[in-house]
Amino acid sequence: MKSKKMWLSLMLVLVVAIMSACGSSGDGANTSSNNEESTASTDNGQPKDGGSIIIAVQDDPKVMNPIYAGDRVTLTIDQSLYAPLFNVNDGKKTYVLAESDSFSDDHLTYTLKLKDGLKWHDGQPLTADDIVFTMDSILDEKQHSSSRSQYVFDGKPVKVTKVDDLTVEFQLPEVSAAFEGALVSFSPIPKHIFEGESDIEKSDKNNNPIGSGPFKFKEYRPGEYVTLERFDDYFAGKAHLDSVTYRVAKDPNAANLALQNGEIQMRMVDTQDYNKLNDTGKFNMLTYPEGRLQYMVFNLNVPSMQKKEVRQAIAYALDKNELITASYSSADFAEPAASILTPDTLYQTDDVEKYDYNLEKAKQLLADAGVSNLKLRLAYTNTNKPQTSQALYIQQKLKDVGIEVELLPMDGTAYGNRTLDMNNTDFELSFGGYIMGYEPDAYKSLFLSDAAYNYSHYKNADFDKLWSDAAVEIDEAKRGELYKQIQQTVANEMTVYPIAYTKAVVAVDNTYGGVEDANPKPVVMLEDLSKIYKK
């Protein structure tokens, strides 16, 4: 940044960065609905309390602990179990657990003060000790939290100390434009529960989580559901609903039927199903930009994918507009993507190689690489309708350049486990998607050479250094140039093929109110379920 004022302005608009294949941003949702929300209220004009809601999710949570949450399902459930320090929507910060925060004049000390009277679900006080413990756990390499990279700058971790019961100080190793944005995804875990655990991720205590959010854990039946009940001592006021149940519904067709029958009251739906559900008049259909990139990744663990010309040839052999139409029914739900950064991310640019459809160029690149009769395996989640459509399209399209594609539809859990295997050679191509938010530093957890979510397994020390330099650069022009180089590198190397920037579609039974107050939000559907009530 060229001035302190500009730097502070940038920090104000940072939003949540979620690592893993998925992430979360706090951009304000552009919502549309086929029903105007009516308000059922008591005599004093307030929404009525009581009742429950059943929300469909695609799989079981991985581990109900926010320092490990990276997939959509776990993040969605954790949103109700654990409270963050603050949220940022449309550049506006809203404090949750935090009362205030500030930087020192040299921007190397960040002071955060908690609200008084905060409680964990077991009634114990939530204090600065929990903030320090959580950050130390994230930074402890033995705990292997995928959030760690967000708090390490140029190889040096942030240090956190307790000032008093409600105040902590974070000491930055150097000035960083990325730090506050990383804190948007920080939700503390209780020190009195996890202190002394040698492996927090595998601790049995995650099976009965103690959080600080508006709903507390009640019951979990793997493969079936997770039920939460209202936490009456929630600092921001108790929720309207008595309980929330997240039902595991892996089959989207069965889930849609359950939605229409009233067995489920909310779920994120595929765009192909929008018209059918909207036409029933039973649902509030929320459609909003999710800040999400849907992509195809090349697995460089497999020798046939290690030649850049082959990867580029595959990119040129695909018509992205046709691929989007085949996947999402309409361009209204997705737009072609060129960059690995989404349009809502700082320093995103489309000024990179776009690989417009060019069949002859694709054939020439394969010839130059000395490759013919190539056989590839394409893996994807078998219940994901857009991915299934994309797989069929790519299989047919690559025949035109002499590439045979074997389709490998997989159960979502098995697919996730295979893609996370750093030594995976079971397939050459796979699909994925992520939501990382406004702060571009969050993306490095997907692209650094040793990152768990680097599904392409592309390793390049110079590329890693670009990410490290960009995280701490506060000159706006210089930082923008570094992120442009990062985007150009991925495009030129073609380790990831960006397909589309997609929109979310969430169907909510129109017998529920408070949807707009709950704030439609990427990844987790609604930011604050405490605002939802039964009409």
Structure tokens at 136: 């130390």
Angle at 433 between CA 430 and CA 435, to 5 degrees: 160
Q: What is the pLDDT of residue 522?
A: 85
Q: What is the mean pLDDT of residues 46-56?
A: 93
Separation CA 321–CA 328 (nearest Å): 11
Q: What is the pLDDT of residue 79?
A: 93
Model confidence band, residue 29 (pLDDT cutoffs 50, 70, 90)? very low
- Kindly provide the b/e burial profile for residues 383-393, where b requires at least 16 CB atoms within 10 angstroms of the residue's own CB: bbbbbbbbbeb
Separation CA 463–CA 40 (nearest Å): 55
Q: What is the pLDDT of residue 15?
A: 34
Average pLDDT, the chain: 89
Q: How many CB atoms within 10 Å of residue 128?
A: 21
Separation CA 181–CA 148 (nearest Å): 14
Bigger pLDDT: 264 vs 452: 264
pLDDT of 171 over the 90 cut: yes
pLDDT tens digits, 152-166: 887 899 999 999 999
pLDDT of 534 over the 60 cut: yes
Cα-only R_g, the chain:
23
Q: What is the pLDDT of residue 42?
A: 52
Q: What is the mean pLDDT of residues 504-517?
A: 94
Q: What is the pLDDT of residue 288?
A: 87
Q: What is the pLDDT of residue 430?
A: 97
**Residue partners of 30: CB distance under 8 A and separation at least 6:** 287, 288, 289
Report CA-CA distances (Å) from 531 to 17, 392, 534: 24, 41, 10
pLDDT of 14 over the 80 cut: no
Model confidence band, residue 521 (pLDDT cutoffs 50, 70, 90)? confident
pLDDT tens digits, 136-146: 999 999 999 98
Report CA-CA distances (Å) from 103 to 84, 261, 470: 19, 52, 20
> Pairing mode, if any, of strands 283-298 and 429-435?
antiparallel
Q: What is the mean pLDDT of residues 298-313?
A: 97
Count of H-run helices and E-run strands, the chain: 16, 23
Separation CA 348–CA 336 (nearest Å): 14
Give the global pTM: 0.74
Q: What is the pLDDT of residue 32?
A: 42
